[in-house]
Amino acid sequence: MKKITALLICILCAFFYTNAQDNCSKYYPMKEGSSFEYTNYNKKGKVEGITTYSISSVSSEGSATKATLNLALSDKKGKENYKTSYTYTCENNMVSIDYKSLFPAAMMKQYESMGMKMEISGNDIEVPNNLEVGKELKDANVTINMNMSGMDMSISVDMTNRKVLAKESITTVAGTYTCYIVSEKTTSKTMGATIEMSSKLWLAEGVGMVKNETYKKNGDLMSRTELTKYTK
């Protein structure tokens, strides 16, 4: 169960790790073939791994544009240890990610083959184009209810208190960017255990996420992720 929870948190946060260049979205990619790389650091600043993203397909459905994003996680030695994909939609100057696609299909099939019944519910993550300091964003969540041999289990991940804190210029190895800082609280519950974290995300128009920092409940830094390269 811990593995599922950690993965959900990772993918929920990964929604902000993407870059963008599309008339509909200022902060998310809608160009097929674009690829992006982020380096993940621990609290001491040591490299923990690499996260890469690539846009495999883009399609139009009426007034909406839908993109499929491939995600791959590698350790600090470059060995790939996980990959998945998910979809998101841009319409009416708003990007949303389908909460059902947050849970990898391959993992779902694995648990279903073990006789586990699963139901997924929640609400999509949304980020508008008109970010400004002080703006509050809609909460997001995903809940997975499972049943196996008569035993019920559930996992939930909630993203709350989402708001734009400030605007500032930051520099990474990929360049210098003017960013909005978006903060949020993430709460995961499983098997009676609750984990609370908070994060700050630096989002730049035309680039997307440049930096992310995750903190423990007491405010101590846990990890950070920075943009290291991207190809449009």
CB atoms inside a 10 Å sphere around CB 113? 8
Q: What are phi and psi of 138, to 5 degrees?
A: -65, 140
- pLDDT at 98 exceeding the cut of 70: no
Higher pLDDT, 198 or 92: 198
Strands (E) across 43-192 are located at 47-61, 64-75, 80-91, 94-97, 117-123, 125-128, 140-148, 151-172, 175-190
Would you place residue 17 in the very low, low, confident or very high pLDDT band (cuts 50, 70, 90)? Answer: very low
SS3 132: coil
C-alpha 62: how far from chain center: 26
Tokens of residue 229, six digits: 């390269």
Strands (E) across 99-139 are located at 117-123, 125-128
Q: Report d(CA 16, CA 220) in Å as an integer.
A: 21
Higher pLDDT, 21 or 97: 97
How many domains in the chain? 1
Tokens of residue 225, six digits: 């992720």
Outline where 93-159 has alpha helix (H): 105-113
Report, as an integer, the average pLDDT of 33-45: 90
20 Cβ contact partners less than 8 Å away, ≥ 6 residues apart? 26, 27, 28, 29, 30, 206, 207, 208
Quickly count helices (H) and strands (E) in the chain.
2, 13
Instruction: List, as own/partner pairs, every contact residues 120-123 make where C-beta atoms lie below 8 angstroms and the sequence separation is at least 24, other chains included.
Output: 120/144, 120/145, 121/145, 123/99
Residue 34, domain extent: 2-231
Tokens of residue 128, six digits: 């508008």
Sign for the CA dihedral angle at 78, 204, 104, 85 comes to negative
CB atoms inside a 10 Å sphere around CB 18? 25
pTM across the whole model: 0.79
Render pLDDT for 127-172 as a digit per residue (tens, 0 to 9): 788 889 999 998 988 888 888 777 888 888 888 999 999 999 999 9
Higher pLDDT, 12 or 127: 127
* Residue 31 DSSP class: S
List the CATH number of the domain containing 36.
2.40.360.20
Share of the chain above pLDDT 70, in %: 82
